[in-house]
Chain A
Amino acid sequence: MVKLNRDKIRNKKILDVHNLVTRFHTFDGVVNALSGVTFHLNHGETLGVVGESGSGKSVTMMSLLHLLPAPPAKIEGGQAFYYGDEAPVDLLTLNKSGISRIRGDHIGFIFQDALSALNPVMTVGRQIGETLVEHLGMSPSAAMKRSVELLAYVGIPEPKKRAAAYPHQFSGGMRQRAMIALSIACEPNIIIADEPTTALDVTVQAQIIELVQRLKKEMDMSVIWITHDLGVVAGMADRVMVMYAGHVVETAPVDDIFYRPSHPYTIKLLGALPKMGETVHHRLESIDGVPPDLLEKPVHCQYAWRCHMARERCWEDIPKSRQMGDRHRAACFLDVAKEEA
């Protein structure tokens, strides 16, 4: 494992994705899952990715690591430069062995449901050890020893005993910790967490978030945290990226997202959050309509159907991402802040 001296890339981009296009070729037609996704991740930062189901959050991240089943999925355009290796590399052009070298070693993945994401007939210790054997060339016994250490490191009591246990013998929170131990085994540069707390109850959720924050700091990593919980994002992300129907509609530092949203969709999303001090009988705001059918090729703003501010030109063209402020971009024709005021 040769990884770049991390100080050299401090506060610089470690991942830079341009115009990523992923489509699913199904019997019903072509699903435009991602229609030109552009974003970047700086070293050492936590990027929160929010959006409703089907907006392309997971598909984006899985496309980067070639984890989508192909067919039906096909990456049809874009570039994804990764700067954590010896030389910058476009992840999308890598062959099988090239991407295998990145997976697990440079970029670790934490999946949502740790019960189905772990092999039911292999001990947790062996599943963690497998990565170590593959990337670091450890012997199976050394890998097992290291697995035990990793389990202890993520806060699992009696790690030695737990390493020899199977996933179904863990509780939900412990299983997610084991999943995290697995993803950080090779000390990757980037951790991609795909809704890791969705299946957990709130207290365990908080513990997991805290754990990832701690690991990020101690291991000097960058984190991409996919969620549809804006509350989680507010608590942990440095920057936020909002996705809608396969497009990035807004990216901004976390405070800007909450205090100066520049896309009508973001505004409505925030409006749908319950507020402190509201009476229990207060109805939460909702966004009318349904997300667009991704089987149709987008020809105009995908949010126009549901947008409370839509103008004529929103139906004519797809809005390009524009600078809205310092490190703040949104894909909207309107100057939302002025319109709202």
Chain B
Amino acid sequence: MQRYILSRLIQSVFILFGVLFIVFFMLQMTGDPVSLLISRHSSPEEVEAMREELGFNRPVPAQFASFIGNALTGDFGKSLRHKQPAMDLILDRLPATVELATTALLISLILGIPLGLISGSNPGSFWDVLSRGTGLLGQTIPNFWLALILILVFSVHLGWFPTFGRSTWTFLGMTLPTRSVILPAFSLALFTMGQLVRFTRSAVMEIRSEDFVRTAYSKGIADRKVYFRHILRNAAIPLISIVGVQFGYLLSGSIYIETIFSWPGLGNLLAESIGNRDFALVQAIAFFSSFVVVTLNLLTDIAYAVADPRIRY
């Protein structure tokens, strides 16, 4: 087990170095960054001064070395627009995205898994058709369109939720979400829910026809126990990876949903920074999102090993 975790950990570190490499050279490939940053009417002296200030006059390997060195301490430079360290801006926006992603994940789990279980346990039934239909809609409806419809119906007409923005309330020193998170989280959850319905359904159906389930029945234990101990326990294993991957995707922030709802999260920040050509910020967000995904994948692998004894060795 320790060896397994250690080897996954080392792999993750290599992946993150790869990400840093790509993030750095992507910028180099866009040409001279300074020409993007400065007015077209600037004098050559001004351009040169800016190069000097930002360190672009140094050879590329030297720039890369200092980029890596700074990145390891969490320093991705200053946002050109906000004049603040890029990492601080990210950490500032992070709570909003975590709130949105966690709520969305919970919604998709609460809806998706039971629907998938009902569907996979009674294939061909009315409930199966209903669940599969819901899952299909979840995966195919564009979430930005759905978000607008939800705003129209629930905020504009019914007035149940705010149309945009994030509000919080504080209780015992904790910042807690309000109903403002419901609509964006629901729009975001729909795709993940659809995926969970489909994967849960196929996992349950596959496990149900396994030989060991027949063995469990042949022992004379009650159907309910066969279902929980033998079917669900095994069906849960493939779901771990779906949930891990989906949470990573949700945590890197959704550009569409956060923009539509003016949700002050990472997705919104990314959209803004790309628009502003705020390359330090773009680099920082790209790396940060990759870091989140890699970390979650690592946790998923560990959870997988805990759940399935066949993987531990």
Cβ of B219 and Cβ of A130 under 8 Å apart? yes
In the assembled complex, B81 has its CB within 8 A of some CB on chain A:
no
Cβ of B221 and Cβ of A131 under 8 Å apart? yes
Q: Write out the residue numbers on chain A whose beta carbons fall within 8 Å of the beta carbon of B219.
A: 103-104, 130-131, 134, 182
Among B218, B225, B230, chain A packs the most CB atoms within 10 A around the CB of B218
18 pairs from A and B in contact (CB 8 Å cutoff): A65-B218, A69-B209, A100-B221, A102-B220, A103-B220, A104-B221, A116-B212, A117-B215, A119-B215, A119-B216, A119-B230, A119-B234, A121-B237, A121-B310, A131-B220, A131-B221, A134-B222, A183-B218
Q: With A105-B220, A134-B222 given, is the CB distance from A120 to B309 under 8 Å?
A: yes
Contact partner of B309 (CB less than 8 A), chosen from A67, A108, A118, A121, is: A121
Cβ of B211 and Cβ of A166 under 8 Å apart? no
CB under 8 Å from chain B, chain A span 47-106:
65, 67, 69, 96-97, 99-105
| Per-position 1/0 for B201-227, Cβ under 8 A of A | 000000001111011111111110100
Q: Write out the residue numbers on chain B whose beta carbons fall within 8 Å of the beta carbon of A121.
A: 233-234, 237, 307-310
> What CA separation (Å) do A3 and B307 show in the bound complex?
39
> What CA separation (Å) do A120 and B308 show in the bound complex?
8
Report the minimum CB–CB distance from A192 to chain B (whole Å): 9
> What CA separation (Å) do A122 and B216 show in the bound complex?
12
In the assembled complex, B229 has its CB within 8 A of some CB on chain A:
yes
Cβ of A120 and Cβ of B234 under 8 Å apart? yes
Contact partner of B212 (CB less than 8 A), chosen from A104, A120, A131, is: A120
Cβ of A118 and Cβ of B220 under 8 Å apart? no
Q: Write out the residue numbers on chain B whose beta carbons fall within 8 Å of the beta carbon of A183.
A: 218
Cβ of B215 and Cβ of A101 under 8 Å apart? no
Among B209, B214, B229, B310, chain A packs the most CB atoms within 10 A around the CB of B214
> What CA separation (Å) do A168 and B217 show in the bound complex?
21
Cβ of B220 and Cβ of A119 under 8 Å apart? no
Cβ of B218 and Cβ of A104 under 8 Å apart? yes
In the assembled complex, A16 has its CB within 8 A of some CB on chain B:
no
Contact partner of A134 (CB less than 8 A), chosen from B221, B233, B307, is: B221
In the assembled complex, A135 has its CB within 8 A of some CB on chain B:
yes
Main secondary structure of the interface of B (DSSP, over half): helix
In the assembled complex, A111 has its CB within 8 A of some CB on chain B:
yes
| Per-position 1/0 for B122-134, Cβ under 8 A of A | 0000000000000
Q: Write out the residue numbers on chain A whose beta carbons fall within 8 Å of the beta carbon of B229.
A: 119, 122, 130
Cβ of B221 and Cβ of A130 under 8 Å apart? yes
Report the minimum CB–CB distance from B236 to chain A (whole Å): 9
> What CA separation (Å) do A101 and B220 show in the bound complex?
6
Identify the closest chain A residue to B217 (Cβ). Answer: A67
Cβ of B220 and Cβ of A116 under 8 Å apart? no
Cβ of A100 and Cβ of B209 under 8 Å apart? no
In the assembled complex, A113 has its CB within 8 A of some CB on chain B:
yes
Among B216, B219, B222, chain A packs the most CB atoms within 10 A around the CB of B219
Cβ of A118 and Cβ of B215 under 8 Å apart? yes
Q: Write out the residue numbers on chain B whose beta carbons fall within 8 Å of the beta carbon of A97.
A: 222
In the assembled complex, A109 has its CB within 8 A of some CB on chain B:
yes
Cβ of B310 and Cβ of A168 under 8 Å apart? yes
Contact partner of B211 (CB less than 8 A), chosen from A113, A122, A135, A182, is: A113
CB under 8 Å from chain B, chain A span 266-301:
none
> What CA separation (Å) do A134 and B229 show in the bound complex?
13
Report the minimum CB–CB distance from A123 to chain B (whole Å): 8
Q: Write out the residue numbers on chain B whose beta carbons fall within 8 Å of the beta carbon of A96.
A: 223
| Per-position 1/0 for A124-158, Cβ under 8 A of B | 00000011001100000000000000000000000
Cβ of B220 and Cβ of A100 under 8 Å apart? yes
Identify the closest chain A residue to B313 (Cβ). Answer: A169
Report the minimum CB–CB distance from B239 to chain A (whole Å): 14
Q: Write out the residue numbers on chain A whose beta carbons fall within 8 Å of the beta carbon of B223.
A: 96
Identify the closest chain B residue to A69 (Cβ). Answer: B209
Cβ of B221 and Cβ of A67 under 8 Å apart? no
Cβ of A135 and Cβ of B220 under 8 Å apart? yes
CB under 8 Å from chain B, chain A span 153-194:
166, 168, 179, 182-183
Q: Write out the residue numbers on chain B whose beta carbons fall within 8 Å of the beta carbon of A111.
A: 211, 214-215, 218
Q: Write out the residue numbers on chain B whose beta carbons fall within 8 Å of the beta carbon of A104.
A: 218-221
Cβ of A134 and Cβ of B220 under 8 Å apart? yes
20 new A-B contacts, CB < 8 A, other than A67-B214, A103-B218, A134-B222, are A67-B218, A100-B221, A101-B220, A102-B220, A103-B217, A104-B220, A111-B214, A116-B210, A119-B216, A120-B310, A121-B234, A121-B237, A121-B309, A130-B219, A131-B220, A135-B220, A168-B309, A168-B310, A182-B219, A183-B218
Q: Write out the residue numbers on chain A whose beta carbons fall within 8 Å of the beta carbon of B308.
A: 120-121
> What CA separation (Å) do A103 and B218 show in the bound complex?
5
> What CA separation (Å) do A67 and B211 show in the bound complex?
11
Q: Write out the residue numbers on chain A whose beta carbons fall within 8 Å of the beta carbon of B237.
A: 121
Identify the closest chain A residue to B223 (Cβ). Answer: A96
Cβ of B230 and Cβ of A109 under 8 Å apart? no
Q: Write out the residue numbers on chain B whose beta carbons fall within 8 Å of the beta carbon of A103.
A: 217-220
5 tightest A-B CB contacts, nearest first = A103-B220, A104-B220, A104-B219, A109-B218, A116-B211
